[in-house]
Amino acid sequence: MDLALAEARAAGARGEVPVGAVIVAPGGAVVASAGNRTRELADPTAHAEMLAIRAACFALGSERLPGHVLYVTLEPCAMCAAAIAAARIARLVYGAADPKSGGVAHGARVFDHPQSHHRPEVIDGIGADRAGTLMKAFFAGLRPDSEDVRDRPRGEPPCRRAGDTGP
């Protein structure tokens, strides 16, 4: 969880909501890690969990991650929970609960639906105080007169846009 918290701090420093995720292989090696990049990439799906899952799947050459553990600082939303199920991640470990937007223990409760093809083992509350403190500090720091991160230069998107003629 310490690595996920480091990713969350880095995301917050970039002006993103401070959420971090790390995927660990069955043998204990870190396969992928990421922090939120929704604003930087102008991509509403660029949540830390989604980016880490994409990177891990790419690194392993598979759409499935059986036996892997996903550590994330905040309860995943419904979109991320569905991706976790689709990737067949064995265990989800998350820090702070998210009563407003969570999709595991709150809201949609994705893994409890009969349509969910996979239910990972879920462990919650690990590092919750530190993750919650990061979130509270981030949102307390938002002010109407503060710089809008959308005005900052953005990195290149991870895929081509319609009309791109590059390789």
Q: Catalytic residue positions?
A: 49
In the sheet with 91-96, reading across from the earlier edge strand, the strands are 30-35, 20-24, 69-74, 91-96, 121-124
Give the C-alpha separation, 103 to 80, whole Å: 8
Say which residues have a Cβ less than 8 Å from residue 51's Cβ, sequence separation at least 6: 21, 32, 34, 35, 37
**CA-CA-CA-CA dihedral for 56, 63, 121, 38, to nearest 10:** 60
Give the C-alpha separation, 26 to 62, whole Å: 15
Give the C-alpha separation, 128 to 1, whole Å: 10
* Structure tokens given for 78: 């419904």
